[in-house]
Amino acid sequence: METFITNVPSPVGPWAVEGTAEAITAIHLPDDRRRASRGTPPRAVKRAATQLEEYFKGTRRNFDVPRASVDATAFQRDVWDALVDIPYGEVRTYGEVARSVDRPRASRAVGNANHANPWPILVPCHRVVSTTGLGGYGGGDEVKRFLLDLEGVHY
């Protein structure tokens, strides 16, 4: 399956939306620079890019973009589903997410599932924090703080 990439600017650098006419295959963090494809973005990519632009402007809180099926474990899928349920402007700890997927001792595994999330922001792994601080983020602390600040969470 051939995918199309378009870049979306943000105050912390460009995000890359990758996908097809039907679904988004990945959202790439600003430190994972991807060259944009030539031509007109297909329907789903254009829609996701528009929604991300609205999110960065503070006018969008939810996303309704189809996500492509990806290789993942059942646990990863459960965690990603739990992340989508975290409301805009709120955070959960790794332990709270682990408990929500009936794996109360799997806090560290939740972090690994977050790191494997192919759709950051659409599946808001940035809303998961440590009990002792910010926690990790594949895009780095500055990007995670920016996203949380944008949503009004000062953690």
Other Cβ atoms less than 10 A from the Cβ of 101: the count is 19
Please check whether residue 114 is in contact with residue 83, taking contact to mean a CB–CB distance below 8 angstroms: yes
Strands (E), the chain: 4-8, 15-19, 24-28, 92-93, 128-129
Catalytic residue among 12, 82, 125, 143: 125
DSSP 86: S
82: DSSP letter? H
Instruction: Give the closest residue to 143 by CA, choosing from 7, 48, 14.
Output: 14
Q: Is the C-alpha dihedral spanning 39, 40, 46, 49 positive or negative?
A: positive
Q: What are phi and psi of 17, to 5 degrees?
A: -100, 125
54 a catalytic residue? no
Report the catalytic residues: 125
